[in-house]
Chain A
Amino acid sequence: AQSVTQLDSQVPVFEEAPVELRCNYSSSVSVYLFWYVQYPNQGLQLLLKYLSGSTLVKGINGFEAEFNKSQTSFHLRKPSVHISDTAEYFCAVILEGAAGNKLTFGGGTRVLVKP
């Protein structure tokens, strides 16, 4: 069975500073990788995804992530955060080729952007 670990439960960061959220996964087969954002009292919004191809993936709102197969990681980065980036961020995987595309999520990282 696959699993996802987000190493930081909370990340405080100052406005305009860079941020990196760490995600590691374990799976015996190839996976698709995702980052979702959840703003307070809202559902999940897809930030970016890695299906195949270039290991550097660019998403919405200036976020990017890099897939590292040897380290089974998919860390999310943003070079300069805004107050509006305060939210919870979830890393998730889907087993490649699996019917139904069931998402397995990590525990989440809460980002608090301070002025």
Chain B
Amino acid sequence: DAGVTQSPTHLIKTRGQQVTLRCSPKSGHDTVSWYQQALGQGPQFIFQYYEEEERQRGNFPDRFSGHQFPNYSSELNVNALLLGDSALYLCASSLALAWGFNEQFFGPGTRLTVL
């Protein structure tokens, strides 16, 4: 059973460009969350997708957008890249339950460098 997978592993872009990162959730999971981890810091929640809709959003500008597909995979798009967008982007998947705690499983991340 494959866990959470992310692509690409590494990416280098220049300021002002746009980037798309991809995530495939763990088998059986229907919810995908994205986190940004800047160097030397803890991950910060960007947003979460469930049933192809953004369910929750953290404190990130509209340059950050996402999408979830019918097969539950997800994309994170960042427009007009800034140097400060350089970070490890982590995807986490979980199974939405009507009640209780849903453990999130993390992928290995995509390392984005903006020059």
- In this complex, the interface size class of chain B, counting residues with CB under 8 Å from chain A, is 20 to 34
Q: Is A63 an interface residue (CB 8 A)?
A: no
- Complex alpha-carbon distance, A94 and B41, angstroms: 18
Select which of A45, A92, A101 is within 8 A of B101 by beta carbon.
Answer: A101
**Which residues of A lie under 8 Å from residue B44 when comparing CB positions?**
105
Q: Let me know if B45 and A51 touch, CB within 8 A.
A: no
**Which residues of A lie under 8 Å from residue B107 when comparing CB positions?**
43
Q: Let me know if A44 and B103 touch, CB within 8 A.
A: no
Q: Which residues of B contact A (CB under 8 A)?
A: 4, 31, 33, 35, 40-45, 48, 50, 55-56, 58, 90, 92, 94, 101-104, 106-109
Select which of A6, A42, A90 is within 8 A of B43 by beta carbon.
Answer: A90
**Which residues of A lie under 8 Å from residue B102 when comparing CB positions?**
101
- Complex alpha-carbon distance, A38 and B55, angstroms: 27
Question: Which A residues from 60 to 93 make CB contacts under 8 A with B?
Answer: 90, 92
Q: Let me know if B56 and A44 touch, CB within 8 A.
A: no
- Complex alpha-carbon distance, A102 and B4, angstroms: 17
- Complex alpha-carbon distance, A101 and B104, angstroms: 8
Q: Flag A86-115 by CB within 8 Å of B: 1 or 0 each.
A: 000010101000011111111110000000
Q: Let me know if A43 and B90 touch, CB within 8 A.
A: yes
